Structure 1
Amino acid sequence: MTRPFENIRILDLTHVLAGPFSTYQFALLGADVIKVEAPNAPDCARGRGPDGNLNNDLRGLNYQVQASNKRAMTLDLKTDKGRSVFKKMVKKTDVLVENYRTGALGSLGLGYDELNALNPKLIYCSLTGYGDYGDRAMVNAYDNTIQATSGIIEQSGGHKPGVSFVDYAAGYNAAFAISAALHQRNTTGKGTHISSSMLEVAMTMMAPEAAAALHPVKIKRDKEAGISAYQTSEGILMIGAFTPDQNCRMWEMLGSQGYKIDAAFKETNDWEALWEKTSAIKETLTYQPIHEPKGKMEEYDTAA
């Protein structure tokens, strides 16, 4: 692939993960991404990672993995001089991406309306935790709090998955929206304001579960046995036999390996049949350690 965003300039007013990851996509594809940080409050990701020396140098690995191909500068937007310099940069910018608290830049006179007046072609993308409106609009958010609020942790058995995938998904979502806005600008010649919240992204990733929760017909059903993890004598095994047909083939395979199976488990020609057998299948697939009967060893020793 060529560098499709080579002539695009992006002002990156982001920090932590979702925002920097979003602008990172454009940096990889040729855009001129300029990261703007406050002089006394750099991106906290700069000080995070396994290497203490890099952290002290503000080049922590958490920062580096999403900072490639970007330029960086410091600018105090709380001062008149800093805002004046920033506005001059905006006039020659295609995209601005920020993930400060909702309304923070607006309170400095750097909201979409003010900057659109300076540059009508500007695409202004705001990444937030909970959106622009509502009771939590002004609340800061992190991946873990969004996972809890959205119900992802509940869907995961009460445990947070080990990676910040909502941050990454939110970054991709914003990058896709910005790409669409750039395409639209080629037709209209006008910029736009994009608002992308982590909560909305999290809910989108749970679309089937959210739709089922809102649907008038309620049913309590276990997840299909073939897409669950099982403890074995050699560790945890994750199975990917999702559909009724895949379930049948899984049991045929287990049978060919010498495992004793219930022939009824292979009789799943449709979803209803599979769901009906889910509990029994899970019980069969669950590892049960083999224990010697009590006293057997003593009897053996006595006989010896």
Structure 2
Amino acid sequence: MGLALEGVKIIDLSRVLAGPFCTMILGDLGAEVIKIEHHQNGDETRFWGPPFVEGESAYYLCANRNKESMTLNLKAEEGKEVFRHLVKDADIVVQNFKTGTLDKLGLGYKQLNEWNSKIILASITGFGQTGPYKDLPGYDYIIQAMSGLMNITGEEAGSPMKVGVAISDVITGLYTCIGILSALHHRQHTGEGQEIDIALLDCQISALVNVASNYLVGKTEPKRLGNRHPNIAPYQVFTVADGEMVIAVGNDQQFARFCNILELAELINDKRYATNRSRVENRSSLIPILQRELLKDSKQNWKRLFDEHAIPNGPIHTISETFNDPQVLAREMVIEGNHPHIPSLKLTGSPLKLSKSPVKVRHHPPLYGEQTAEILQRVGYTSAEIKEMKKNQVI
């Protein structure tokens, strides 16, 4: 059974998270991914820790499986020549250098297109290739701040908060995948490669979705609501007898069932709460009524009742509880792979479940420069030439 992207070759110049996360997904789908790292130090995330396992950082391991790693000095003329050999039969180059860096190296899209007219170049930056901020560095944290995401995250009376993972990087990686797959489809019909300009700020603003629309259409400044939803009620964290849980009532029918379970049938036809709109407008009086009833029983009992009556709900798991949850395990979201230094390396599984071309973990996250010699030999270099390159700090 073949893999969805089998035969697609990617040269990955990216590092940290957005680019590597994108290329890992493409690698999971079967693409050949050659990760090119700086000839003296490599991807920064190799050093981001603890934790480290046998010298490998957990951060690096999370986004670099199904790749080969080679080192290369792109500032050296011989290094550029090696890069040319790699590009001429590749499909995609992914890079996240600062705007203009590839052009300064003589390796921008115009040059790549001369070497390979079908090449697709995906360029990831903080702020994009145009605009007044194009030359500024843009890490995930900065983007969470500047996109408005932090200002709507956290308790109403508290400080703005970032999300617990580098969500702007993750979203950007996903958008970059979409762009690359779209460009491959376009090339299939036209024979043309193209350049994809992806900005973390653009991607995070797009991911504001309904909150952005609330502002653009409603002309009101969205505020922090803690664990409440700006457009739906009741849709938040509630305290129960032995802790907390999320209850997410998404429509009026669910609300009626929810009220019956709580023995609050009188709320169903109360004009203050009969529709979602009225519930949102009267949230301040509704929530205390619901909260009083929910304190009367445990998480386990409430979950059983809510599940029986199709009321969306869930416990607030720790990460350890998540990775031991029977549903998570049944969906193979924890996988074990081989690694030369780490016995039974555990990684997060892929959420992509394709019936005809399933995802497969074929390669462990590579050691720094692990396949350098092998890749060079594949494009025609001899052992003597490779030895000389190492001597000259080309690799």
Which residue is 2:215 aligned to? 213
Structure 1 residue 247 corresponds to structure 2 residue 255: yes
Q: If the length of structure 1 is used for normalisation, what is the TM-score?
A: 0.85
Structure 1 residue 280 corresponds to structure 2 residue 285: yes
Q: If the length of structure 2 is used for normalisation, what is the TM-score?
A: 0.66
Contact conserved, 2:14 with 2:97, CA < 8 A, in 1?
A: yes
Code of the residue aligned with 2:52 in structure 1: it is G
CA distance in 1 between counterparts of 2:60 and 2:285 reads: 47
Q: What runs of 5+ residues in structure 1 fail to find an aligned partner? A: 256-260, 291-304
Which residue is 1:263 aligned to? 266
Which residue is 1:76 aligned to? 73
Tell which structure's C-alpha radius of gyration is larger.
Answer: 1
Local SS of the residue matching 1:215? helix
Code of the residue aligned with 1:282 in structure 2: it is I
Which residue is 2:14 aligned to? 14
Contact conserved, 2:19 with 2:96, CA < 8 A, in 1?
A: yes
Moved more, 70-79 or 217-226: 217-226
- Of 116, 127, 130 in structure 1, the residue corresponding to residue 127 of structure 2 is 130
Code of the residue aligned with 2:250 in structure 1: it is F
Q: What runs of 5+ residues in structure 2 fail to find an aligned partner? A: 155-159, 296-395
Which residue is 2:239 aligned to? 231
Shift of 1:45: 1.2
CA distance in 2 between counterparts of 1:40 and 1:266 reads: 70
Contact conserved, 2:34 with 2:68, CA < 8 A, in 1?
A: yes
CA distance in 1 between counterparts of 2:96 and 2:62 reads: 18
* Structure 1 pair 80–155 and aligned structure 2 pair: CA distance change class (3 A): same
Local SS of the residue matching 1:225? coil
Contact conserved, 1:229 with 1:237, CA < 8 A, in 2?
A: yes
Shift of 1:218: 4.1
Local SS of the residue matching 1:194? strand
What does the per-residue CA deviation read over 1:6-55, in whole Å, with 9 as the maximum and x for residues that have no partner? 1111000011111000000111111110000111231111123444353x
Which residue is 2:356 aligned to? none
Contact conserved, 2:52 with 2:58, CA < 8 A, in 1?
A: no
Contact conserved, 2:259 with 2:267, CA < 8 A, in 1?
A: no
Which residue is 1:114 aligned to? 111
Which residue is 1:298 aligned to? none
Number of residue pairs matched by the alignment: 281
* Structure 1 pair 26–272 and aligned structure 2 pair: CA distance change class (3 A): closer
CA distance in 2 between counterparts of 1:21 and 1:154 reads: 26
- Say which structure is richer in helix: 1
* Structure 1 pair 145–285 and aligned structure 2 pair: CA distance change class (3 A): farther
Which residue is 1:294 aligned to? none
Structure with more relative contact order (C-alpha pairs < 8 Å, separation 6 or more): 2
Local SS of the residue matching 1:239? strand
Local SS of the residue matching 1:196? strand
Code of the residue aligned with 1:38 in structure 2: it is H
Which residue is 1:195 aligned to? 197
CA distance in 2 between counterparts of 1:214 and 1:36 reads: 42
Local SS of the residue matching 1:228? strand
Shift of 1:233: 4.1
Query: RMSD between aligned alpha carbons?
Result: 2.3
Moved more, 68-77 or 138-147: 138-147
Shift of 1:247: 2.2
Which residue is 1:179 aligned to? 181
Equivalent pairs: percent with the same residue?
32
The residue correspondences of 1:43-58 to structure 2 (distance < 5 A) are 43-54=43-54, 57=55
CA distance in 2 between counterparts of 1:25 and 1:52 reads: 23
CA distance in 2 between counterparts of 1:135 and 1:219 reads: 25
Local SS of the residue matching 1:72? strand
Which residue is 1:34 aligned to? 34
Local SS of the residue matching 2:234? helix
Code of the residue aligned with 1:225 in structure 2: it is A
CA distance in 1 between counterparts of 2:219 and 2:174 reads: 33
Moved more, 117-126 or 224-233: 224-233
CA distance in 2 between counterparts of 1:240 and 1:2 reads: 40
Which residue is 2:92 aligned to? 95
Shift of 1:139: 1.6
Contact conserved, 2:214 with 2:222, CA < 8 A, in 1?
A: no
CA distance in 1 between counterparts of 2:212 and 2:53 reads: 45
* Structure 1 pair 169–220 and aligned structure 2 pair: CA distance change class (3 A): closer
Local SS of the residue matching 1:208? helix
What does the per-residue CA deviation read over 1:192-248, in whole Å, with 9 as the maximum and x for residues that have no partner? 100111111111111222122123654889733321113344222211112233222
What does the per-residue CA deviation read over 1:254-304, in whole Å, with 9 as the maximum and x for residues that have no partner? 11xxxxx4723554443332223212122334579x9xxxxxxxxxxxxxx
Contact conserved, 2:215 with 2:221, CA < 8 A, in 1?
A: no
Code of the residue aligned with 2:275 in structure 1: it is D
